[in-house]
Structure 1
Amino acid sequence: MTIVNLTKRTAHFSFMALSILLIAACTTIGNEDDAPTLFTDFSQSADFALQKSEILTDPAKTEWALVTIQALTREGQYDIANSMIEELDTTKLTVQQQNHLLLLRAENNYAQNKIDSTLEIMKRIDKNAISKEATVHYLKLKAQLHIRQQETQQAVDTLLTLTPLLTVKEEQQYYNDTLLTQLSMLPSSTLDEQTEQKLPTASLSDQEMFVKGWYSLGSVYQRYKLRTNQLIQGVETWKGIYPNHPVINLMPTQLLNLSEAQPYTPNKIAILLPLTGRFKKPAQALQYGISNAFYNQTSLQNEQYANESSNPEQSEIVITGQFKTTPPNLSFFDTNKMTMQEIADQLHEQEFDFVVGPLLKPNIEHFLPLVTDIPVLALNSFPLDATGQASMTSSIHYAFPLSPEDEAEQAAELMFQNHHKMPLVFAPQSDFGKRASAAFEARWKALLDENNSNATNAVTYFYTKDVNYKNFLGKALKTDVSRRRAEQMKKMSAGRLKALAKNRGNTDGIYIIGKRSNIIFFKSFMSVVVNPYAKKIPLYASSRSHEMDLTNTQDKELEGLTFSDVSFLVNEDGEVNKKIQSIWPKQRYSTLRLFALGYDGYSLIDQLKHLQVIEGYQYQGLVGELNLDNNNTVNSHLTWATYDEDGELIEVTTPTSIK
């Protein structure tokens, strides 16, 4: 075995070497010499574009090189794109080309979730020196950066500049939806201030009317989004005030099909939880989350009603109508003390009109057929039918699971979008580990089939409580075989050959399902087992790895680990996290996850119809971004974060493209 140690200099591809490699892979040359317009959705591949840049002379040569960089980023070949950017950076470029190259560099960094470096590059771009297509691209990237940074006002300002420049219907729809969402997140005082009639309407320019109209629509949506009848009236009134506003031709998705999205407004809500017995503690965490959401929502509604009653003139559009200020009656049922039949009989007898729960799958399976006439949000998955598909018994029944299987599937999606080709899964030898790893493997296989990928199937290795981490990793990564071969070669050469064990060459990512202690041991033994000169294998983990660091050392030991968790726990410095930690301190993260599930479970009651009827509608909860699939199951998109060298969390998302 020969081990070659590459220096940084020899490992860096020169532009010429890269050109030769890519040209060799190409088979045909097109006849057209004009490069496609940069920052548009062209069809040419990176290989084709690079070939063009090699056979032509300037100015076409440089334009094709810039197109190649855009194509490489789009294809996920970030390192090669960066090599070309650095090479072009040393050549003579026009002022416009220099700024286009900066924008391409920013896009390449953004696609890899390098937010800080993207922001720095964006500051260097001269907006007056770029093409109109580049301007649109720049504004799209700027808007998404502001949204990622939760800079709502800046995002609104950028989107108001961007949306009039768009010409493709799908893009117009996406950014109209995004703009309304961002507007609704502004303080109501800001929206009202922007819609005050400071000048006669006839004195306002078209641009001023455009901006004012958007703020007014945002105010209507924010004020009435949970009161469908008033929202419908408010939108119609708005159209009468702004009959020529461009958004009328493509209204945001949130405002479509409103008549079918009348929310549930129950008067009596039953909460079904196992409040005694084995699952008492998890049930109490859910109960606390549900109760907290109930009191917060009641307080918010009363405050909003008081503000509207005392200051109706503050908003440009005020729709009068019934406003429910009496909170619903909340009753908790212990599913360990009553049978499902007994509970169903009591719910019908006392005319309950909504149910949250049950929690346990056997109870869900027995309960749902008994209450087909009552809306139910079960706090777990639906039972499966003979084909393995979720089986709901009524269109008014919904499921809200927070399961390791869902988490594993999202890990597979992230690793696939991060361009891993052969992932390994390390899972505990238990029913939990088998279910989660099977979900990862199945989702990974589906992604391969959907994308005609040449990546290989995921492979799972199970570990036990008393696992020998060194031996386990040696077998999983095949370094034990490599080490034996290295020792044999060393003996054959009478000790003259120095060889290092080589890890399994096609393993480029590992998903670990385990507790924090497992992760720390795996990570520390990786440095012993894996060739130190080889590229580090990225490690991903489930939420089980995320715990409160009471020693102030463990987070630093997990440097580089990427994990998923419910949204509010990842945002450690967020206001929601701080508030919950203050009123319910020193709780395990596993308990707080159930709190979040309960909180969102109650909060979803008046959101379910919107999720069910309005295409593309999403709700941001404590768990994460929530939507509803065709089987009435609430899907939770968890948040991902990575530990840096100081043990601090850096929030990440899947590799991002500019829409």
Structure 2
Amino acid sequence: MATQYQRDSVTRLLCTLVLSSILMACGTGLRAPQEAPPPAPDIFSLIDRPADQYQALAERAPEPDAFNWRVLAIRSALQQGDAATAGQQLEVLRRQASPQQQSILGVLEAALALTQNNPAGALQQLATVDRTRLSRGGEIYYLQLQANALELQQQPLEAAKVLIERQELLSGDERETNRGHIHHLLQSLSPQSLRQAQGPGNTDLANGWFRLMAILNSDNLQPGQRQWQLQSWRTAYPDHPGQAYVVGTPAEPVVTSAYQPAHIAVLLPLSGRLAEQADAIRNGILSAHQGQTSRLSFFDTNGRAMNSLYQQVQQAGADFILGPLLKEEVDALTELDPAMPVLALNVPAYQPGLPHLYYFALSPEAEAAEAARHMWDQGHRQPLVFAPNNELGRRVATEFGQRWQQQSGRPAILAYFAGQSSIESDVRRALASAGSPPPAAAGVIQPLGDGGWTGAPGPIDSVFMVTNATETRVILPYFDFVRDSRAARLPTYVTSRSYIPDDDAPMSELNGLQLADMPWIFDGAPQLRQEVDALWPNAGITWQRLFAFGYDALTLIPQLSQLREGAPPVPALTGELTASPQGVLQRRLQWMEYRNGEWLPGGQ
């Protein structure tokens, strides 16, 4: 009995232990930790699940993945229009985010403001975000939010500009979608507003969009004019995404070889305050036109709206435009996107680079750029620019400085003089500027450079004076007086504004002065010179220069496209002429040296 009882007890105990072990094993299984979630994707990747699923993943993930999942949860809530949930989760994230994550939170704050229909708040929030801290995906998201906010504020042009910037960051289907949105936004704008939107402050991509949509949105274009404009656009922007919207237009480029116009429309201010200058240009054009079979028609631009003037040119049957003369008139004509070649007689700030647009000007800035090139070729390495403290002086000095920096990698020293009474002290300051920092006021030194004043790399070895003839006569002797009289004069260079006629009394103090001017002034083309002197015996030096300008403008028309393609320089009255890829004609001037009342050939 006892033995059987003991046996039964042992059996029950073993069963209890086995059951207990099973229960413990089951209990252990229930309490086992869940498997960790996969690594979080990029926080600005495509949202493909509800916010609560992202949040659940965040609860199970270690940092920094947990932060990424929370951001995705907030974006998902925003995408679902659940601003309340997104706001609550964002508040939690604010307390947990590190300083490095603040830019991301700023973008989320902007997205929340957009969901709450507060585009102004979104833009204000985006303005505080440091975009350099964002990933490529973050920048794409940032720009989309910015564009959406601007569109909600009824600013389609500004929204399109943002999307155009965004286009460069995208690939695949996203690029196509973004491109379609740009087209949709710009489709709502008038051709005039799109033309006015173009300018040097935009990228080529943006200017290409604005010009294309100005053409496509114009309802009053003749078929031939529209086709010309679109072909010209396709030639100028061969890889532009907007090519998708001109599929029906022939892809042949605008014919630009050897212009041989039958009817040239010349746009000049033949009346008003510039009538005398226009008359000199007109006479130069007429002289160059002798013996040609083409027809010339002159149109007075004074007081005329360019739109109506261009219509008159079209009605007259012209196939080439020469002019206009003023920068604002050139801008107005460019905005119209004329359906014929144009050689404008000025260079505006923005040149769209279209294959049938060219620009020619006699500008002081161009002469300053030529002086910088020449002085570098002469072996000078630290020039001093001495200019009057006025708008023209600063503009020309700055152009010289920029060109010098580009070709030498070194800053030029820019010094400004205030007036004749302070010339001596201004010259002393200028010559002492190589080792001292510049004051900021007029009449003192102001070097050009991105990194602030670091002192000139070496001693001043040459001078470029932005002066007229009278100022040159007064100032040049001071450079000799201030420096050691036993030292050789610093090589000094001036431009055409300092020209002194050969028949003036010799001034020995100017000996050695080097001047750049057009060959025409130094008895170039002697036969033509005799004809001009006979017809206009009392013409002054300014009239003579403008005559040569008009003469060259007409003569160059058949050679424009070849020059743009890199043909050798063309010798002309105004200088040796080449053209930039943007169609800007550039002059290489003739350098002469003053010796006892005469201008003699200088170093070339």
For normalisation by structure 1, the TM-score amounts to 0.47
Residue deviations 1:89-140 (CA, integer Å, cap 9, x gap): xxxxxxxxxxxxxxxxxxxxxxxxxxxxxxxxxxxxxxxxxxxxxxxxxxxx
- Which of 386, 401, 406 is residue 446 of structure 1 equivalent to? 406
Q: Distance in 2 between matches of 1:269 and 1:525?
A: 51
Residue deviations 1:585-640 (CA, integer Å, cap 9, x gap): 23222221111111000111122133234x33332110011112111111111111
Higher relative contact order (CA 8 A, sep 6+): 1
Q: In the alignment, is the contact (CA less than 8 A) between 1:382 and 1:391 conserved in 2?
A: no
Q: Which amino acid aligns with 2:591?
A: W
Q: What is the CA-CA distance between 1:421 and the residue it aligns to? A: 2.1
Q: What is the CA-CA distance between 1:571 and the residue it aligns to? A: 3.4
Q: Distance in 1 between matches of 2:563 and 2:330?
A: 22
Q: Secondary structure at the match of 1:444?
A: helix
Q: In the alignment, is the contact (CA less than 8 A) between 1:426 and 1:461 conserved in 2?
A: yes
Q: Does 1:354 align with 2:307?
A: no
Q: In the alignment, is the contact (CA less than 8 A) between 1:376 and 1:398 conserved in 2?
A: yes
Uncovered stretches (5+) of structure 2, i.e. residues with no partner: 1-254, 437-456
Shift in alpha-carbon separation, 1:652–1:528, aligned structure 2, 3 A: closer
- Which of 413, 417, 420 is residue 459 of structure 1 equivalent to? 413
Q: In the alignment, which residue of structure 1 is the partner of 2:367?
A: 407
Shift in alpha-carbon separation, 1:538–1:271, aligned structure 2, 3 A: same
Residue deviations 1:287-335 (CA, integer Å, cap 9, x gap): 111111112x43xxxxxxxxxxxxxxxxxxxxxxxxxxxx222111111
Q: Distance in 1 between matches of 2:287 and 2:412?
A: 41
- Which of 375, 387, 393 is residue 427 of structure 1 equivalent to? 387
Q: Distance in 2 between matches of 1:534 and 1:558?
A: 16
Q: Does 1:628 align with 2:579?
A: yes
Q: Secondary structure at the match of 2:299?
A: strand
Q: In the alignment, which residue of structure 1 is the partner of 2:564?
A: 612
Q: Distance in 1 between matches of 2:256 and 2:266?
A: 24
Q: Which amino acid aligns with 1:649?
A: W
Shift in alpha-carbon separation, 1:282–1:467, aligned structure 2, 3 A: farther
Q: CA RMSD in A?
A: 2.6
- Which of 419, 426, 430 is residue 472 of structure 1 equivalent to? 426
Q: In the alignment, is the contact (CA less than 8 A) between 2:383 and 2:460 conserved in 1?
A: yes
Q: What is the CA-CA distance between 1:400 and the residue it aligns to? A: 0.8
Q: What is the CA-CA distance between 1:481 and the residue it aligns to? A: 12
Q: In the alignment, which residue of structure 2 is the partner of 1:592?
A: 544
Q: Distance in 2 between matches of 1:353 and 1:612?
A: 20
Q: What is the CA-CA distance between 1:528 and the residue it aligns to? A: 1.8
Q: In the alignment, which residue of structure 2 is the partner of 1:512?
A: 465
Q: In the alignment, which residue of structure 2 is the partner of 1:335?
A: 301
1:100-499 equivalences under 5 Å are 262-295=257-290, 297-298=291-292, 327-384=293-350, 390-392=351-353, 394-449=354-409, 456-478=410-432
Q: Distance in 1 between matches of 2:491 and 2:269?
A: 40
Q: In the alignment, is the contact (CA less than 8 A) between 1:542 and 1:563 conserved in 2?
A: yes
Q: In the alignment, is the contact (CA less than 8 A) between 1:557 and 1:647 conserved in 2?
A: no
Q: In the alignment, is the contact (CA less than 8 A) between 1:571 and 1:577 conserved in 2?
A: yes
Q: Distance in 2 between matches of 1:605 and 1:560?
A: 38
Q: In the alignment, is the contact (CA less than 8 A) between 1:479 and 1:530 conserved in 2?
A: no
Shift in alpha-carbon separation, 1:391–1:434, aligned structure 2, 3 A: farther
Shift in alpha-carbon separation, 1:415–1:350, aligned structure 2, 3 A: same
Q: In the alignment, is the contact (CA less than 8 A) between 1:474 and 1:480 conserved in 2?
A: no
Q: What is the CA-CA distance between 1:466 and the residue it aligns to? A: 3.7
Q: What is the CA-CA distance between 1:261 and the residue it aligns to? A: 7.0
- Aligned-residue identity in percent: 31
Q: In the alignment, which residue of structure 2 is the partner of 1:21?
A: none
Q: Distance in 1 between matches of 2:378 and 2:434?
A: 28
Residue deviations 1:381-402 (CA, integer Å, cap 9, x gap): 1432xxxxx334x311111122
Q: In the alignment, is the contact (CA less than 8 A) between 1:568 and 1:576 conserved in 2?
A: no
Q: In the alignment, which residue of structure 2 is the partner of 1:499?
A: none
Q: In the alignment, which residue of structure 2 is the partner of 1:562?
A: 514
Q: Distance in 2 between matches of 1:481 and 1:401?
A: 38
Q: Distance in 1 between matches of 2:466 and 2:348?
A: 24
- Which of 479, 489, 495 is residue 542 of structure 1 equivalent to? 495
Q: In the alignment, is the contact (CA less than 8 A) between 2:344 and 2:360 conserved in 1?
A: yes
Q: In the alignment, which residue of structure 2 is the partner of 1:26?
A: none
Q: Which amino acid aligns with 1:433?
A: G
Q: In the alignment, is the contact (CA less than 8 A) between 2:264 and 2:320 conserved in 1?
A: yes
Q: Which amino acid aligns with 1:285?
A: A
Q: Distance in 2 between matches of 1:507 and 1:579?
A: 45
Residue deviations 1:128-184 (CA, integer Å, cap 9, x gap): xxxxxxxxxxxxxxxxxxxxxxxxxxxxxxxxxxxxxxxxxxxxxxxxxxxxxxxxx
Q: What is the CA-CA distance between 1:508 and the residue it aligns to? A: 1.0
